[in-house]
Amino acid sequence: MRLFTIAEANALIPRLEEIFAQVRQRRDQARPAQQALAQVEQTKRSNGADHSHEIHELRAQLDAAIDAMNALLQAISALGIEVKDVDQGLVDFPHQREGRVVYLCWKSGEDRVRFWHELSTGFAGRQPLTSEE
């Protein structure tokens, strides 16, 4: 497990913001295909017409978007950062604090890491970093 200093975590924030922006963009691009697929599948049930080609195309579009999002999120994980919530852009950086491993907690939109929490408490247990850290 890689342990991050506060400075190392803060240095990665611009890259994380960029990656989460790309994930949101891919998700937004996938929504029309997802909605169209749901509508075509509903139409197929009601009229029995063959929509297999259209369904195949829409599923391929969705699969491509999901693969792209997964690759972006994997890039974050490969750095040793744990993605906790994609929609919020919430991540945890493993960190050594007072002789134990905790998480530095950051959420998209925050200009720097300002909080930490125990491994077992999650976002609800966030505590502010002190000014000396």
The pTM assigned to this predicted structure is 0.83
Answer whether residue 119 is part of any domain: yes
Answer whether residue 46 is part of any domain: yes
Helical packing angle, 6-47 and 52-78, nearest 10°: 170
Q: Give the pLDDT score at 44.
A: 66
> For residues 123 and 133, what is the distance between their CA atoms, to the nearest angstrom?
20
Answer whether residue 133 is part of any domain: no
Please provide residue 52's backbone torsions phi and psi, each rounded to the nearest 5 degrees: -60, -40
Can you say whether residue 109 is alpha, beta or left, with left for phi > 0 and alpha for psi between -120 and 50 degrees? left
Q: In this predicted model, what pLDDT tens digit does every residue of 67-90 receive, in sequence order?
A: 999 999 999 999 999 999 999 999
Average pLDDT for 103-109:
97
Q: In this predicted model, what pLDDT tens digit does every residue of 13-71 receive, in sequence order?
A: 999 999 999 999 999 988 888 888 788 777 766 666 676 778 888 888 889 989 999 99
- In the numeric block, the tokens 């792209």 are attached to 68
Confidence bin at 116 (pLDDT 50/70/90) = very high
What are the distances in angstroms from CA 42 to CA 36, 45, 52, 56, 59? 10, 5, 13, 15, 15
> For residues 31 and 106, what is the distance between their CA atoms, to the nearest angstrom?
27
Q: Give the pLDDT score at 14.
A: 97
Check: CB of residue 127 under 8 Å from CB of residue 98. Answer: no
Q: How many domains does the chain have?
A: 1
Average pLDDT for 87-106:
96
Q: Give the pLDDT score at 96.
A: 96
Check: CB of residue 33 under 8 Å from CB of residue 65. Answer: yes
Answer whether residue 103 is part of any domain: yes
Answer whether residue 90 is part of any domain: yes
Q: Give the pLDDT score at 82.
A: 97
Task: Note down the domain range covering 29.
Answer: 6-128
